[in-house]
């Protein structure tokens, strides 16, 4: 009997719970009234009919589109993977070659889609990019070539995908100021994706091209931090500014080669794995070399001089340099590209120093003449004035520079090495007094130079050494080298370096060596200071510093 009563009670509880579930509560948590329930039912019915109508319209639209003849079907799509199956006679035109005089011509271009902007279902714009150039393309529905589906396809192409386009060149009513090629526009006739972006982009390329001034004027602009850019360096290098920066960097190397080759110098290639530190000291990377140890070269110094002893006369090299300096400043790297040179001379080391000065003048002049386009593009994002320099570079002696700094209120001893702030101050003072951003600082204190530096013949506290400065910062260090074996041994001993560690180096001078001088240039620094860029990592392709070894 008790069991039967228990079962009946359970059934009543379940029935009550079911009824409670069916009760619809209002916002106040109380059951809705009959009037409210009726209103709600009408709203649900109305929404149901709306959804049915939308579904029916979508179905009808899809049916119409399916039935519609796509007259552009052969003019767009995704190309098969290019496996070099065939060669055609297609003539390709670079974006930078487009001119207003080509209006009316059909051209074939390959470029990245930097961005797209649909105007309607019948028209859209694309921004195309190739290297340092951008151009505007437009697709507009017509009766023969461009269909609605073709326009829809074009707007769906992911940014940064590569496309092949056939288009007619037209002259726009007003110049396209947002593109570097602004005098023409491309009326697209065919568009095929040849390489499609498969993943989300780490940042919008346009955001990486804002100048500091633009960001200051418009706080809504997105900014991409330097670490984000360097962590995604391949993407970052696609900006037209970076493309231009590294064309200019390549130009500096080209001009360095041109000048020295014309001077009769021989390009050499020296070892980067060596048995002893190139310049002594601890700023050297030690590596395992089979069962022993070796070092990464701090410079090609010892081998440049060996080539002079081997009667090469004048030599130069463009190669990596490694410095194990735990320095995280805006102008230091642990690996950089060194432009090194060494030349014998007849009477005085100034023969070499002045030649190097003329070399820099040659580089600076030709950059402005032959790479004006790239300089213009860089200066849009990183505004700077062209450097001031003379055909005969200014030469200052170290003691005169010290006097100039002291007159300005700087405190430093006669033989103190200059700090970076002092170098910058000196650069500003020199510009004010002499009207130049480029100068040579000669006769450094011997105590702040390497062991192979020749002492000054009239005052042994100084040396026959020099640095070159650009915009108040050092871009090259050089000197006359000690070429006498006995004097060299004395200098090595004075620096506390074991003679046996430099045995092969010393032997070259024991065999007789002409007097010579030279120097080493940091490529990234030259480009950085010439362009007025604030961080050397922006002028290094894939920078290496104490905290960065990837990518």
Residues assigned a catalytic role: 323, 325, 331-332, 474, 477, 525
- 3-state DSSP of 469-538: EECCEEEEEEEEECCCHHHHHHHHHHCCCCHHHHHHHHHHHHCCCCCEEEEEEEHHHHHHHHHCCCCHHH
Question: Distance (Å, rounded) from C-alpha 54 to C-alpha 65?
Answer: 16
Residue 105 and residue 189 in contact, taking contact as beta carbons nearer than 8 Å: no
Give the dihedral sign, CA 27/32/35/41.
Answer: positive
SS3 category, 150: helix
Residue 301 and residue 331 in contact, taking contact as beta carbons nearer than 8 Å: no
SS3 category, 444: coil
Question: Distance (Å, rounded) from C-alpha 270 to C-alpha 262?
Answer: 21
Question: Distance (Å, rounded) from C-alpha 225 to C-alpha 229?
Answer: 6
Q: What are the tokens at 243? A: 């493309």
How many CB atoms are located within 10 Å of the residue 129 CB? 22
Q: What are the tokens at 290? A: 């089979």
Residue 268 and residue 293 in contact, taking contact as beta carbons nearer than 8 Å: no
Beta carbons within 8 Å of 189's beta carbon, 6+ residues apart: 75, 106, 145, 146, 166, 167, 168
């Amino acid at each position: 009997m008790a069991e039967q009563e228990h079962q009946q009670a359970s059934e009543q509880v379940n029935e009550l719970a079911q009824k409670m579930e069916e009760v619809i509560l209002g916002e106040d948590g109380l059951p809705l009234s009959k009037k409210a329930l009726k209103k709600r039912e009408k709203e649900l019915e109305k929404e149901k009919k709306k959804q049915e109508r939308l579904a029916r319209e979508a179905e009808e639209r899809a049916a119409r589109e399916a039935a519609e003849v796509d007259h552009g079907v052969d003019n767009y799509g995704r190309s098969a993977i290019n496996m070099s199956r065939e060669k055609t006679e297609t003539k390709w035109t670079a974006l930078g070659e487009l001119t207003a005089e080509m209006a009316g011509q059909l051209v074939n271009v390959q470029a990245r889609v930097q961005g797209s902007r649909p105007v309607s279902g019948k028209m859209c714009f694309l921004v195309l990019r190739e290297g340092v150039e951008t151009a505007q393309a437009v697709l507009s529905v017509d009766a023969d070539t461009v269909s609605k589906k073709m326009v829809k396809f074009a707007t769906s192409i992911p940014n940064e995908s590569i496309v092949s386009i056939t288009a007619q060149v037209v002259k726009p009513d007003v110049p396209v100021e947002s593109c570097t090629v602004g005098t023409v526009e491309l009326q697209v006739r065919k568009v095929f994706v040849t390489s499609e972006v498969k993943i989300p982009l780490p940042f919008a390329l346009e955001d990486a091209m804002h100048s500091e001034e633009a960001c200051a004027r418009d706080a809504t602009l997105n900014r991409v931090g330097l670490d984000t850019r360097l962590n995604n360096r391949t993407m970052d290098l696609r900006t037209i500014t970076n493309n231009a920066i590294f064309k200019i960097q390549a130009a500096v190397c080209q001009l360095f080669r041109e000048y020295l080759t014309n001077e009769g110098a021989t390009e050499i290639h020296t070892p980067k794995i060596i048995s002893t530190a190139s310049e002594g000291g601890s700023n050297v990377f030690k590596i395992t070399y089979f069962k022993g140890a070796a070092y990464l070269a701090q410079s090609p110094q010892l081998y440049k001089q060996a080539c002079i002893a081997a009667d090469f006369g004048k030599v130069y090299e463009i190669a990596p340099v490694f410095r194990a300096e735990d320095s995280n400043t805006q102008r230091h790297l642990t690996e950089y590209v060194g432009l090194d040179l060494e030349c014998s001379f007849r009477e005085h080391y100034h023969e070499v120093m002045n030649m190097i000065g003329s070399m820099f003048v040659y580089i600076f002049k030709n950059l402005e003449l032959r790479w004006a386009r790239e300089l213009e593009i860089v200066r849009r994002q990183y505004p700077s004035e062209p450097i001031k320099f003379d055909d005969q570079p200014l030469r200052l002696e170290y003691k005169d520079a010290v006097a100039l700094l002291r007159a300005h209120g700087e405190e430093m001893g006669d033989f103190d090495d200059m700090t970076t702030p002092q170098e910058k101050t000196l650069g500003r003072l020199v510009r004010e007094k002499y009207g130049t951003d480029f100068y040579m600082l000669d006769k450094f204190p011997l105590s702040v130079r390497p062991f192979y530096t020749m002492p000054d013949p009239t005052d042994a506290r100084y040396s026959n050494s020099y640095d070159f400065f650009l915009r108040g910062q050092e871009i090259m260090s050089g000197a006359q080298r000690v070429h006498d074996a006995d004097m060299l041994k004395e200098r090595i001993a004075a620096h506390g370096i074991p003679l046996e560690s430099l045995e092969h180096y010393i032997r070259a001078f024991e065999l007789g060596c002409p007097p010579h001088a030279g120097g080493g240039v940091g490529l990234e620094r030259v480009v950085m200071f010439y362009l007025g860029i604030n961080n050397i990592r922006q002028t290094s392709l894939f920078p290496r510093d104490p905290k960065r070894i990837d990518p």
